[in-house]
Amino acid sequence: MDTPSLIVPEKSVFLETFGCQMNESDSERLLGFLRDLGYTRVETPGDADLIILNTCSVRDKAEQKVYSALGRFKHLKEENPGLIIALCGCVAQQEGERLLQRVPYLDLVIGTSNIHRVGQLLEEAGLRNKRVAAISLSGIIDTDEYGSASRTNGLKAFVSIMRGCDNYCSYCIVPYTRGHEVSRDAADIIGEIRRLCLNGVREVMLLGQNVNSYRDKSAGINFVDLLRGVAEIDGIERIRFVTSHPRDLSPALIRLFGEEPKLCRHLHLPVQSGSDPVLQRMRRGYRVDEYLAKVTRLQDLYPDIALTTDIIVGFPGETEEDFERTLTLIRRVGFDNIFSFKYSPRPGTAAADYEPAVPMAEQKKRLAALQALQSKITIKRGRDLVGRVESVLVEGVSKLSGEELTGRTASNRVVNFAAPPEVQGRVIDVLITEAHEHSLRGTYKEWKAYAT
């Protein structure tokens, strides 16, 4: 009797990711689904049967990058009509069908809630020659949506725990591109992290647009409960999460940094502006003094905590005085790092019509002043670490000097240091000896024990 052939022809995919960690995590999921369909990843678009761009539309510049990237693939489609070109992520969700009209050589538009349907969509494009835009936004997360994330054999992994946002900050497109807030079942998340751990993962970064408002209603589990559950998994040594909304930073979460040693003392807490009238027009839902009260509590309890933030400069109506208040806040908090952006009006958001716009030259000036100030603070905070012993997850060999190893502190700073290769993959103590703006250097504490 003939046995049916199980040989599936090899197919290849070129995937490029723009934007935030949520997109990186979605790309990992996409690769997982594609691997199950027989695809391998290639680094050159010309070698691929399928090209996917995972896109970002949080600012106009990011969106324009996507259109120019797409333009690079036009000739490939002309040379190889069997090539499938797909766009997913936030630009796909935002533009939908319009993209198919605007870009005639584009085959698939895959919205942010439709990633797990990639197999079915590829079949429609490939076998039935259809051009499809799948952009329905789902109010639930199915267990199988996150089933098969493709992981490298890394030590660190992103784990999405929720998606969407209900805050509708006036400048932000995310609630439109990612939909309403939906949390995954806690049992699914814990199961996924257990599997990752068996594959060697030691550090997880829990992801959500508004991660600290996570809630598994049916199981009665909130974000702090979930963090405790993750910490119970043997083998997981470090837990981080991003992004938190200052308003949802609860006293219980603040306490957890003191109770749970696996929780890295590193918190990204976007403030956006240091001026109350601006925060109000941004619809952020807190005042500067409320933000500062939470930050002060964290810093009093945990002097070693590393705080980072996001700032938008040049929001409509931002005066010189408003901006000065932002600089004052930055000096007052002493962030480890900030991510700062010029305001970019986004279609359909409330602030798109706000006036008066801050002139571009002024926005640039403010951004430069902010970044110059922060750069000094970042260097100073690095120098404060010199002479201290930091716990470091050893990730591999340093790119700068092949003789050194590299890893990150709990505060997420890069450290390069000399140590024997067998410490790779472990969390070890490193004495910090030098601080640069983007990295630290150190010596492995037990180095002597190995040398003898």
Residue 363 binds ligand SF4 (CB under 6 A)? no
State which residue, 313 or 423, has the beta carbon closest to ligand 5AD: 313
Out of 50, 169, 197, 333, the residue judged to bind ligand SF4 by CB under 6 A: 169
Residue 83 binds ligand 5AD (CB under 6 A)? no
Min dist CB 248 to ligand SF4, Å, is: 9
| Beta strands 11-17 and 39-41, pairing class | parallel
Out of 29, 59, 202, 266, the residue judged to bind ligand 5AD by CB under 6 A: 59
Residue 450 binds ligand SF4 (CB under 6 A)? no
Out of 304, 310, 324, 446, the residue judged to bind ligand 5AD by CB under 6 A: 310
| CA proximity to 264, closest of 50, 98, 411 | 411
State which residue, 263 or 358, has the beta carbon closest to ligand 5AD: 358
Residue 175 binds ligand SF4 (CB under 6 A)? yes
Q: d(Cα 132, Cα 129) in Å, to the nearest integer?
A: 10
State which residue, 99 or 312, has the beta carbon closest to ligand 5AD: 312
For 184, residues 6+ apart whose C-beta sits below 8 A from its C-beta are: 141, 146, 160, 161, 162, 216
Residue spans of beta strands (DSSP E) within 304-353: 306-313, 337-342
DSSP-derived 3-state class of residue 415: strand
List the single partner that 266 binds among ligand SF4, ligand 5AD, none, CB under 5 to 8 Å by kind: none
Out of 34, 165, 435, 440, the residue judged to bind ligand SF4 by CB under 6 A: 165
| CA proximity to 414, closest of 425, 405, 406, 426 | 406
Distance, CA of 345 to chain centre: 22
Residue 20 binds ligand SF4 (CB under 6 A)? no
Residue 168 binds ligand SF4 (CB under 6 A)? yes
DSSP-derived 3-state class of residue 87: strand
Angle, vertex CA 329, rays to CA 323 and CA 332, nearest 5:
145
Out of 67, 105, 302, 341, the residue judged to bind ligand 5AD by CB under 6 A: 341
R_g of the chain, CA atoms, integer Å: 23
Stretch that binds ligand SF4, among 81-89, 146-154, 163-171, 395-403 (CB under 6 A): 163-171
Q: d(Cα 246, Cα 290) in Å, to the nearest integer?
A: 9
For 364, residues 6+ apart whose C-beta sits below 8 A from its C-beta are: 342
Q: d(Cα 301, Cα 318) in Å, to the nearest integer?
A: 34
Min dist CB 93 to ligand SF4, Å, is: 14
Residue 201 binds ligand 5AD (CB under 6 A)? no
Out of 171, 176, 323, 335, the residue judged to bind ligand 5AD by CB under 6 A: 171
State which residue, 238 or 342, has the beta carbon closest to ligand 5AD: 342
Stretch that binds ligand 5AD, among 69-77, 157-165, 259-267, 341-349 (CB under 6 A): 341-349
Please report, for residues 12, 180, 196, 229, 240, the alpha-carbon distance to residue 158 in angstroms, rounded to integers and kept in the order given: 24, 21, 10, 17, 9
The full length of the chain comes to 452
List the single partner that 208 binds among ligand SF4, ligand 5AD, none, CB under 5 to 8 Å by kind: none
Min dist CB 50 to ligand 5AD, Å, is: 29
Residue ranges binding ligand SF4 (CB under 6 A): 165, 167-169, 172, 174-175, 209-210, 245
